[in-house]
Amino acid sequence: MNIQKKTKFGITRLLAVAGVLLGSVFSCVTNYRTISTIKPDGSIFREIYARGDSAFLSGDPSKNPYLFQLDSGWQISVLNTDNSVGQDYNVKIGKLFHSPEEISRNLQFDEDYRPIVAPAETLQKHFRWFYTYYSYKAVYANIADKIPVSINDYLNVPEQKLWFQGDFSAYPDMNGMELKDEMDDIEKRFGKWHARNVYENRFKAILDFEKLSGGRYLSQMKEMEDTLFTVLFKDYDFIENIPETATLYNCLDKQLNTNYFYNTFKANRSVIDSLTMEKEKYLENMENKLFGNEIAYELLMPGKLLSANAPVHCQDTLIWKINAFRYLSDDYVLTAESRTANAWAFAVTFVLIALSIYYWIRSRNVKIPVFYPQPPKGGF
């Protein structure tokens, strides 16, 4: 596979997928299932399901399928793939933590995995005599700063929340036809953003090579960077037809009325390809580490559930889908609230009320009348 095709495929998978609409494009995703059970004392038991290879199942820790290192505290269980979990997972790990906050502090992982492995988790516990209230929150921090070109230049915040997180709150009055028009427009601008990121990497590679070769046209190239993008991507389809590096050189020749760039490209193709790959390594690394992993996150709260922003409720289980698109441009926040009844508080309150009534009667010297049954007329 030549470098242009390889790069095109990699970056397309990274940026051309947007939630459900383009989910089929992203084919190389590793799936996990995480179940967090919060106990009444504030501790949390976490289970994570994965698919391990035969070496890991045989006890080789170097083949760990998880995104963090496993210490001795994790209980590892090999699953029967015929069980209710399904065929996707064949291994499960579990560990009890004193609090959600403790989890990220105790995990060891590649820092590139932090956005998906270590969200900022908190649990607040409030005692209110009859009830104890629990508020859980997990924040997956946005990774917008890791993308060369900001999505903010193409989509506003409500549009980003709609496109990446499925948040329709900014569009309450739209019917289906109006919403479809809005989505079509967002999709086009998302495509332009995707195209600009691909273009930025390739154009910067050309600039770097021009610097190395003397910089004859360097100033003109910098001035026409935006113009060149507009020319190349005027009728751009963001799933296909991504211009190759050679196309950029041809376009530069046309804009500057020369054949310098294409001749330069033909004579130095291997060097230019190497520079292009170097520029795109960062995005491909992020694709593999962030966009290449997806979590089905399940949460069980203690007591009665009061509220949650989970899109799926299955009896007492809250379910979120976690992937990098959810927190690409903004924080993706999971929230849930519940309460447990303090049975002892009800019992104590009842006893106190009963004693209060009793002592009040005694302090008032109130005689409690005693009623005796009257014999029937005529005697017994």
Give the domain range for residue 130.
Answer: 3-43+98-341
Q: Is residue 249 part of a domain?
A: yes
User: Helix, strand or coil for residue 252?
Assistant: helix
338 vs 357: CA distance, rounded Å: 34
In a domain, 79, yes or no: no
* H/E run at residue 150: none
Residue 352, domain member (yes or no): no
Asked if the structure places residue 87 within a domain, the reply is: no
Per the domain annotation, does 50 fall within a domain? no
- 245-256 vs 225-232: helix crossing angle, rounded to 10: 110
Report helix, strand or coil for 329: coil
Kindly state whether residue 298 falls inside one of the protein's structural domains.
yes
For the chain, what is the domain count? 1
Residue 112 confidence (pLDDT): 87
Residue whose entry in the numeric block shows the structure tokens 């963090």? 68
Which pLDDT value is given to residue 91?
94
Token couple for 142: 């946005």
Asked whether residue 274 is domain-assigned, the answer is yes
The answer to whether residues 115 and 330 touch, using CB atoms and an 8 Å cutoff, is no
For 83-145, give the DSSP string.
Answer: STT-TT--EEEEEEESSHHHHHHH----GGGHHHH--EEEEEEEEETTEEEEEEEEEE---GG
CB 188 within 8 A of CB 234: no
What HEC string does 286-320 produce? HHHHHHCEEEEEEEECCCEEEEECCCEEECCEEEE
CA neighbours closer than 13 Å in the CB half-sphere of residue 137: 9
Q: Is residue 85 part of a domain?
A: no
- Give the residue ranges of the chain where pLDDT is below 70: 1-27, 81-87, 234-243, 365-380
Task: Measure the CA–CA gap between 47 and 70, rounded to whole angstroms.
Answer: 13
